[in-house]
A and B are shown apart, each in its own frame.
Chain A
Amino acid sequence: MQSLTRNLASKIALLPMIIISLTVFVGCIIYSFVYSLTGSKLIPALNYVGFKQYEMLFKSRKWDVAVENIFIYGFVFTIGCLVIGFLLAVLIDQKIRGESLFRTIFLYPYAMSFVVTGLVWKWVLNPTFGFEHSMHLWGFEWFKLDWLVNRELAIYAVCIAAVWQGAGFVMVLMLAGLRGIDDDIWKSLSIEGVPKWKSYLFVILPMIRPMVVTSIVLIAAGVVKVYDLILALTSGGPGFATTTPAMYVMENFFSRANLGQAFAASIIMFISVVCILAPWAYYEFYFRNKEAKA
């Protein structure tokens, strides 16, 4: 009884979160799972078909491509944002003139919606009107920028647009971390004669670990959900070369009126996310807390 009333105010304050976690997040997962076992088409119906939707999902060539793409995109986008974000933060940290101007320039794409980002890059990468055309007009006839229409490269075009949008945000996080480093550390590093690039990479980077982790969490949440950007940029094409799991889900929800399949795909997505996240979350919030207390 005592345990119930302990921190009662806190419990009540967290009630909205608890209700939402249970009804919306957990509820939606259960709902999706139940309907993934049905043959629902345009609207949800409880006509159970067992695990047939999952069978069809794993047989689908398109789903295979989608899974492969999300790994490529996740890897390139995450690494791209982290590397470029860190690099830009280090550059800006060199006491340069016009710092706030450059900071704004690198950050502004983050204010754009994915739809806008997709549209702009579609326009720039368009082989008939875009950058390639400009280069041809300038006499560089050999210049080729056909990423959007090339099956192998289209997914990397998506990555470029996404990194353009997200790198500035990572830069801000990293910069905030760098500015939190004590001057004494820099002094002692320069006394010991450690080259600057080595200091950044091996001393400073581990020190701003919280920023790196925050960046990764925010980026990763975006990776799983990537949909609008691809829709605006390539619509999943050429063929279905740039389709992603979120896109597969959306397509089956709306245009294909194949709800059962959409629910099955989203359950698989959810399970994958849990498998990747659970160990990290356990470490980050449980293990480390315990360690700190011990």
Chain B
Amino acid sequence: MSLSSLSIEPSGSKPKHLTIGRIGLYCFILICALFFLMPLYVMIVTSLKDMDEIRSGNLLYIPKTLSFYAWPKAWSEACTGFVCEGLKPGLINSIKITVPSVIVSVSLGALNGYALAFWRFKGAYLFFGLCLFGAFIPYQVMVYPLLKIESAIGIYSSLPGIILVHTIFGMPILTLIFRNFYASLPIDLFKAARIDGGNFLKIFFYVIIPMSTPITIVAVILQVTGIWNDFLLGLVFAGRDNQPMTVQLNNIVQVDFGVAEYNVDMAATILTSMIPLAVYFISGRWFVRGIAAGAIKG
């Protein structure tokens, strides 16, 4: 498999000595890195300051006196209404929503991509085209009709309800990247499998899935972050017992009345971003490798 084994590491020997050009290169890349890191740095130091220092001090300085007041407050004490549980209950809910949604939507995306790439039939691309346009329709337009559909089948405001919605909205892009990946596989491989008597499902499970690791990683990463970071759909479809972490973050951060505590806001923000950040830090390398495989090849 040429694509899945595609190297992301630089090839050739390392340059031996530093030239002026390379010093310039490093300077430039360091400046870029500082620009990208600055917001994260600001978030972290702000979360460790007390409110007086935030109001009077320098945004970019490290805290004069470390204050850990904000973190436990954001995690388990901040109030929504008179329920004061912080972000903690949201974490479990977000996991309960994200894990099944990712599994269902990625499986469906892989199956669709496979069918479209190898088992084309008349009209298949018409539906795929419709589906792709779906990726460009603002969610908001679909909120009311979806509400009606979900309440008609009795899953509105429940875990299955929100999972179905994430599956629907994830499908266009997932189908697209899986289709592109499979379209880039050598067709002979597929033909050989058919001659060996493989049917639709057999080929999918025994030939295609084992080769899909790189693109599956990409799909999973995209979906985990996308679903984890969703606010609107969670608010509308999850029901009050399953409100994801982002909804609770919003409750803590967007206080209309009363004193805004920026350090608690920042701590809450970092806590909410923890899981997708960890996913990226841990799996960034596979992400780069896999993404090469999912590009549009026509």
Contact = CB atoms under 8 A, between A and B. Distances in A.
A and B touch in the complex (CB under 8 A): yes
Interface of A: 3, 6-7, 9-11, 13-14, 16-18, 20-29, 31-32, 44, 88, 91-96, 99-100, 102-117, 119-121, 123-124, 129-131, 133-134, 137-138, 164, 168, 172-173, 175-177, 179-180, 183, 210-211, 213-214, 217-218, 220-221, 224-225, 227-228, 245-246, 249-250, 253, 259, 262-263, 266, 269-270, 273-274, 277, 281, 284-286, 288-289, 292
19 contacts: A10-B118, A10-B124, A26-B130, A32-B141, A91-B25, A108-B36, A108-B40, A112-B229, A112-B276, A120-B42, A123-B46, A123-B262, A177-B295, A210-B297, A214-B180, A224-B138, A249-B140, A250-B140, A281-B129
Nearest to A224: B136
A208 to B, nearest CB: 8
B119 interface: yes
Contacts of B43: 120
A85 to B, nearest CB: 11
A29 B146 CA distance: 12
Given A124-B39, A273-B133, A13 B200 contact: yes
B259 interface: no
A10 B8 contact: no
Nearest to B199: A9
B145 interface: yes
Contact of B119 (A9, A20, A115, A137): A9
Nearest to A100: B285
Given A24-B146, A111-B279, A176-B295, 5 more contacts: A25-B131, A28-B142, A28-B145, A210-B297, A263-B141
Nearest to A91: B29
A25 B284 contact: no
B292 A177 contact: yes
B134 A21 contact: yes
Interface stretch (B55-63, B67-75, B82-90): B55-63
A210 B297 CA distance: 5
Main secondary structure of the interface of B (DSSP, over half): helix
A88 B32 contact: yes
B27 to A, nearest CB: 11
A129 to B, nearest CB: 6
Given A120-B39, A179-B292, A285-B298, A225 B138 contact: yes
Contact of A129 (B54, B115, B146, B292): B54
Which bracket fits the contact residues of B? 35 or more
Interface stretch (B95-103, B167-175, B205-213): B167-175
Contact of B127 (A17, A245, A289): A17
Interface string B232-269: 10000000000000100110010000000010011001
B6 A24 contact: no
B87 to A, nearest CB: 13
B6 A17 contact: no
B46 to A, nearest CB: 7
Contacts of A285: 125, 128-129, 298
B197 interface: no
Contacts of A137: 58
Q: B22, B36, B291 — which one has the most chain A CB atoms within 10 A of its CB?
A: B36
Contacts of B134: 20-21, 24-25
A245 B140 CA distance: 11
Contacts of B124: 10, 14
B137 A28 contact: yes
Nearest to A270: B137
Nearest to A129: B59
Contacts of A179: 6-10, 292
B58 A133 contact: yes
User: Which 10 pairs across A and B sit closest by C-beta, in order of nearness?
Assistant: A10-B119, A113-B229, A176-B292, A9-B200, A25-B134, A111-B276, A210-B295, A266-B141, A21-B130, A120-B39
A213 B141 contact: no
A98 B26 CA distance: 11
A33 to B, nearest CB: 10
A253 B145 CA distance: 13
A91 to B, nearest CB: 5
B225 interface: yes
A14 B127 contact: yes
Nearest to A218: B173
B80 interface: no
B272 A23 contact: no
Contacts of A172: 287-288, 291
A113 B132 contact: no
B185 interface: no
Given A7-B119, A28-B137, A100-B285, A21 B127 contact: yes
Given A210-B296, A285-B298, A120 B269 contact: yes
A25 B133 contact: yes
B157 interface: no
Nearest to A103: B284
B280 A104 contact: yes
Contacts of A217: 176, 296
B138 A269 contact: yes
A227 B291 CA distance: 26
Contacts of A88: 29, 32
